[in-house]
Amino acid sequence: MGTAADERGYRVRYILATRLVNELVEPADDKQLINTINRYGCVDLLLLDELGHMELDKGCAGLLSQVLTERKEKNAIGIASNESFSRWTKSFTDPWLCAAIVDRLSFGGTIIETDFASYRLAHTRANRPLCRGSVLHRENARQRRLGCSE
């Protein structure tokens, strides 16, 4: 999606959610923070990966919400998360802020839920045969010894 938009001349920015939050927390003064928020607010397509994977306190979630607000439904946003919205309350510790973020992201948007195995794991298994000395082979053997399933 991002590559196709970029090829058509749109300004696209891809970033891990944790990195974005770190960039929002780092500025030493309000002017730097405003510049950071504006930088992510003005691109045509913002792609946030792994949102919902880390715990965010009220302050961090508020900063993320400011970026989403800056976009003001004028620019597109793509979110990738292995967690459903209902599980985001584990990441966003303030339930009201969590609801506001989900509301802002879902209003007028298209939600695509997928339920499939990891692409990376399937790709690795398809392209690298397991041999006795491989890391995956050793990890699978360790899991079997511990009684864990694959």
> Average pLDDT of 116-126?
70
* Residue 49 belongs to a domain: yes
Count the domains in the chain: 1
More confident residue, 125 or 46: 46
| The pLDDT of residue 36 | 93
The enclosing domain of 28 has a CATH number of 3.40.50.300
For the chain, give the secondary structure using H, E and C: CHHHHHHCCCCEEEEEHHHHHHHHHCCCCHHHHHHHHHHHHCCCEEEEECCCCCCECHHHHHHHHHHHHHHCCCCEEEEECCCCHHHHHHCECCHHHHHHHHHHHHCCCCCCCCCCCCHHHHHHHHHCCCCCCCHHHHHHHHHHHHCCCC
Tens digit of each residue's pLDDT (9 = 90 or more) over 40-87: 999 999 999 999 888 999 999 999 999 998 887 789 999 988 888 888
Q: How many CB atoms lie within 10 A of CB 97?
A: 19
Range in 17-21, 73-77, 142-146 with the lowest mean pLDDT: 142-146
Q: Is residue 136 part of a domain?
A: no
Tell me which residue range forms the domain holding 22.
1-110
Residue 110 pLDDT level (bands cut at 50, 70, 90): confident
pLDDT for the residue 129: 59
pLDDT of 134 > 50? The answer is: no
Tell me if 14 is assigned to some domain. yes
At 131 the pLDDT is 52
Q: What's the rounded Cα separation, in Å, for the pair 108 and 18?
A: 25
* Residue 85 lies inside a defined structural domain of this protein: yes
Tokens in use for 14?
A: 């891809």
Q: Is residue 27 part of a domain?
A: yes
Average pLDDT value for residue range 26-37 = 89
Burial 47-75, CB ≥16 within 10 A → b, else e: bbbbbbbeebeeebbebbbbbbebbeeeb
Q: With respect to residue 117, please indicate whether it lies within any of the assigned structural domains.
A: no
Q: Which of 49, 106, 48 is nearest to 73 (CA)?
A: 106
Report if residue 2 sits inside a domain: yes
**What's the pLDDT score for residue 32?**
92
142 located within any domain:
no
**Nearest residue to 60 (alpha-carbon basis) of 106, 104, 22:** 22
